[in-house]
Amino acid sequence: MSGDFRVALSGDFIKTDGSAVFPDFDLEPLRQAPGVEISFLQSSDPVRADQLADFDALILLLHRFTQDSIHPNGRLALVARFGVGYDTVDVEACTRAGIALVITPDGVRRPVAVSIITLMLALTCKLMVKDALTREGPPGFARRSEHMGVGLVDRVLGSVGVGNVGAEMFHLARPLDMRFLAYDPYADAKLAAELGVELVELDEVFRRSDVISINCPLTPQTRNLVNAERIALMKREAYLINTARGPIVDQRALTAALQERRIAGAGLDVLAQEPPDADDPILKLDNVILAPHALCWTDQLFAGNGAADVKAVLDVQHGRTPYPVVNRAVLDTERWQRRIADFRARFGR
pLDDT in tens, 106-116: 999 999 999 99
Q: Assess whether 118 and 261 both reside in one domain.
A: yes
Distances (CA, A) of 75 to 52, 54, 335: 8, 7, 11
* Domain final residue, candidates 273, 290, 307: 290
How far apart, in whole angstroms, are the C-alpha atoms of residue 215 and residue 19? 33
Q: Assess whether 75 and 224 both reside in one domain.
A: no
Backbone angles phi, psi at 75, to 5 degrees: -75, -40
How far apart, in whole angstroms, are the C-alpha atoms of residue 65 and residue 62? 9
Q: Assess whether 202 and 279 both reside in one domain.
A: yes
Is pLDDT at 80 greater than 70 in this prediction?
A: yes
* Domain final residue, candidates 290, 314, 334: 290
User: For the whole model, what pTM was predicted?
Assistant: 0.87
Predicted local confidence at residue 1, as pLDDT: 44
Q: Assess whether 171 and 251 both reside in one domain.
A: yes
| Cβ count within 10 A of residue 308 | 25
Predicted local confidence at residue 208, as pLDDT: 98
Is 85:112 a contact under the CB 8 Å cutoff? Answer: no
Predicted local confidence at residue 248, as pLDDT: 97
Q: What is the overall mean pLDDT for the chain? A: 94
Domain of residue 191 covers 109-290
Q: Assess whether 209 and 93 both reside in one domain.
A: no
* Domain final residue, candidates 249, 273, 290: 290
pLDDT in tens, 272-294: 999 999 999 999 999 999 999 99
Q: Assess whether 23 and 95 both reside in one domain.
A: yes
Is pLDDT at 234 greater than 70 in this prediction?
A: yes
Is pLDDT at 21 greater than 90 in this prediction?
A: no
Q: Assess whether 148 and 285 both reside in one domain.
A: yes
Query: What is the percent of the chain with per-residue pLDDT over 70, rounded to a whole number?
Result: 99
Q: Assess whether 215 and 134 both reside in one domain.
A: yes
The DSSP element (H or E) to which 80 belongs, if any, is: strand 78-81
Q: Assess whether 114 and 197 both reside in one domain.
A: yes
Q: Assess whether 97 and 114 both reside in one domain.
A: no
313 Cβ contact list (under 8 Å, min separation 6): 7, 30, 36, 57, 59, 78, 80, 322
Active-site positions? 245, 274, 293
The number of CA neighbours under 13 Å toward the Cβ of 30 is: 28
Q: Assess whether 190 and 273 both reside in one domain.
A: yes
Q: Assess whether 118 and 59 both reside in one domain.
A: no
How many domains, the chain?
2
Highest mean pLDDT among 1-5, 32-36, 260-264: 260-264
- CATH number of the domain that residue 241 is part of: 3.40.50.720
Predicted local confidence at residue 51, as pLDDT: 95
